[in-house]
């Protein structure tokens, strides 16, 4: 019995059992890290699929998690600007400060779209760096995955071979899935849609959807009835098949439009965990395409 207990203690104290602690700001990056890290990582997600990542409180429980983490994986591009800097400061963890090896911002590895020429408060919630909602395109996920695999190897060189093997496996499965998604989503090319908020540019570009109207005249500012009525008038001239919104968003403006026009309402998961069918990255895109195809009928 004593021998068994000693053996267990030795195994638990062995470096091979030590997991890299990862703090992910959003569910998509938590899911991607788990794909690439497997048993070598312990991943915590600061937000869920039903939360707006712009508006999170740097509460004590998050600070405690950030204080002990080895790697911070977030979107960047000012998406978390309202809470992440405070979290970093309060945590006091040198691993996750700007420029540190444990500081990883996904937006640094893709080309951001919709960069504004000028930025001021009158424009609403505009991101100076460009649109940060990069996870709505699998092409972006692929680019981030390649960079993240390298960062995992840097932070945990003892398990570098494991990370490389998982990256090779992931890229093969992801490329196969992307080809299948493109083929399945072919009927969506050119389909006219309305969006509630300007957070779908990477999705519309990837699938070739035609965004004909936006309900929010200014990003993150609820539209007035007058503004919604202008969208109704526009749709009389340029009809759309559906109006889409993210699962975490209030449907009030969309429901108003649906009531006035009869247009189809499509609630997309937006990220992992946004609905019951999207519990990993692969299923996120499966579900998104299925919902869009149903809306286009």
Domain holding 287, by residue range, is 185-296
pTM, two decimals, is 0.90
Residues 212, 159 share a domain: no
Tell me the C-alpha distance between 223 and 215, whole Å.
6
Give domain status of residue 10, yes or no: no
Both 249 and 219 in one domain: the answer is: yes
Report how many domains make up the chain.
2
* pLDDT tens over the chain, length 297 residues: 444 444 444 444 444 458 999 999 999 999 999 999 999 999 999 999 999 999 999 999 999 999 999 999 999 999 999 999 999 999 999 999 999 999 999 999 999 998 876 655 544 456 678 999 999 999 999 999 999 999 999 999 999 999 999 999 999 999 999 999 999 999 999 999 999 998 999 999 999 999 999 999 887 788 899 999 999 999 999 999 999 999 999 999 999 999 999 999 999 999 999 999 999 999 999 999 999 999 999
Q: Which of 180, 202, 221 is the last residue of a domain?
A: 180
- The pLDDT of residue 16: 45
Helices (H), 105-218: 138-155, 160-184, 201-207
Last residue of a domain, one of 180, 200, 219: 180
Pair 129, 197 in one domain: no
Task: Please tell me whether residues 97 and 119 are part of one structural domain.
Answer: yes
Instruction: Confirm whether 287 is domain-assigned.
Output: yes
Q: Residue 128's pLDDT is what?
A: 78
| Claim to verify: residue 193 and residue 271 sit in the same structural domain | yes
Contacts of 129 (CB under 8 A, 6+ apart): 76, 77, 78, 107, 112, 115
50 and 120 share one domain: yes
Report yes or no on 85 lying in a domain: yes
**Domain end (from 180, 198, 218):** 180
36, two tokens: 């690439």
User: Are 31 and 109 found together in one domain?
Assistant: yes
d(CA 106, CA 189): 27
Q: Residue 140's domain is classified under what CATH number?
A: 3.40.50.1980
3 lies in a domain? no
Phi first, then psi: give them for residue 250, nearest 5 degrees: -65, 130
């Amino acid at each position: 019995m004593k021998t068994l207990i000693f053996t267990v203690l030795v195994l638990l104290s062995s470096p091979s059992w030590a997991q890299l602690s990862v703090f992910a700001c959003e569910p998509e990056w938590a899911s991607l890290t788990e794909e690439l890290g497997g048993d070598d990582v312990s991943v915590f997600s600061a937000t869920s699929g039903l939360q707006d990542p712009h508006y999170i409180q740097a509460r004590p429980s998050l600070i405690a998690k950030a204080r002990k983490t080895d790697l911070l994986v977030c979107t960047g591009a000012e998406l978390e600007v309202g809470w992440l800097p405070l979290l970093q400061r309060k945590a006091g963890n040198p691993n996750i400060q700007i420029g540190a090896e444990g500081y990883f911002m996904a937006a640094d590895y893709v080309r951001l779209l919709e960069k504004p020429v000028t930025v001021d408060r009158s424009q609403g919630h505009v991101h100076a760096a460009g649109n940060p909602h990069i996870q709505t395109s699998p092409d972006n996920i692929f680019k981030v995955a390649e960079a993240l695999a390298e960062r995992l190897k840097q932070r945990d060189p003892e398990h570098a071979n494991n990370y490389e093997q998982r990256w090779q496996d992931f890229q093969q499965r992801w490329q196969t899935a992307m080809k299948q998604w493109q083929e399945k989503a072919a009927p969506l090319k050119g389909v006219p849609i309305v969006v509630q908020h300007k957070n779908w540019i990477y999705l519309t570009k990837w699938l070739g959807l035609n965004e004909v109207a936006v309900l929010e005249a200014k990003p993150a500012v609820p539209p007035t009835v007058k503004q919604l009525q202008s969208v109704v008038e526009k749709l009389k001239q340029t009809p759309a098949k559906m109006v889409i919104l993210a699962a975490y968003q209030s449907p009030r403006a969309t429901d108003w439009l649906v009531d006035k026009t009869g247009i189809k309402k499509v609630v997309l998961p937006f990220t992992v965990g946004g609905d019951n069918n999207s519990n990993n990255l692969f299923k996120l895109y499966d579900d998104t395409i299925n919902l869009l195809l149903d809306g286009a009928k």
